[in-house]
Amino acid sequence: MPVVTVERKILKKNDEIARENRKTFNDHALFTVNMLSSPGSGKTTLLEKTLSRLPDEVKCAVIEGDVQTDNDARRIAKFNIPVVQIVTNGGCHLEAKLIQDALDNFDLVNVNLLIIENVGNLVCPANYDLGEDKKVVLVSTTEGDDKPLKYPPIFRVSDVLVVNKIDLLPYVDFSLEQVRKNALQINPDLEIFEISCRTGEGLKNWMTWLRSAIRK
């Protein structure tokens, strides 16, 4: 039986568009963050806290990904910044093409920070490069400190881990030391921030990191 060698990446098309996105971001000196977590870890809340702390010279735009509703985009629109809601209608992740299409809605010349909030899901988004500079994965203390061991791919491909809801530590069986150990076992290069969006604890370090990453 004849054999045809293919040797091709199945997600090659996504990777190609991600490369185009990356070029667009570079051309506009735009720093791009892809926020990942399971539903309810606090991605949108961290985004709100971040937006309220950004200095005026940082021009931020936001892409919200959700399976349904524009609730998150409406929360972000209150900050008077450009925001696009992508409703995936059941799709469990954002793909590079969706980002590329969403970019048409922004005046990129006047943006230097783009934050993409991915669909709440710790599995599928790991496979899809969007062209972002950094992937930031969130875990909250109510979820369990073994999340990195249960969902290794997403922790391996991420650059930053944010542990949220540390104000709840007295009430939950969650060890900061253990989550740190588990995460670094999967990815020793992870930069880790421990925060509470509710009390504001730790947000200063997160903001320092973000501001230093934005291109001058």
Binding residues for another protein, rule: CB under 8 A, are 1-13, 91-93, 95, 123-124, 126-128, 149, 151-154, 156, 184-188
For the four alpha carbons of 62, 64, 70 and 74, in that order, the dihedral sign comes to negative
The residue (of 1 and 177) whose beta carbon lies closer to another protein is 1
In contact, 133 and 23? CB cutoff 8 Å: no
The residue (of 187 and 205) whose beta carbon lies closer to another protein is 187
Q: Give me the amino acid identity at 16.
A: E
Query: CB of 171: closest distance to another protein in angstroms?
Result: 29
Q: With residue 140 as reference, give the H or E element that holds it.
A: strand 134-140
Query: CB of 187: closest distance to another protein in angstroms?
Result: 8
Site of tokens 């995460």: 183
Query: What is the Cβ-side half-sphere exposure of residue 177, based on CA atoms within 13 angstroms?
Result: 0
The residue (of 64 and 95) whose beta carbon lies closer to another protein is 95
Query: CB of 93: closest distance to another protein in angstroms?
Result: 6
The residue (of 84 and 126) whose beta carbon lies closer to another protein is 126
In contact, 185 and 150? CB cutoff 8 Å: no
Query: CB of 159: closest distance to another protein in angstroms?
Result: 15
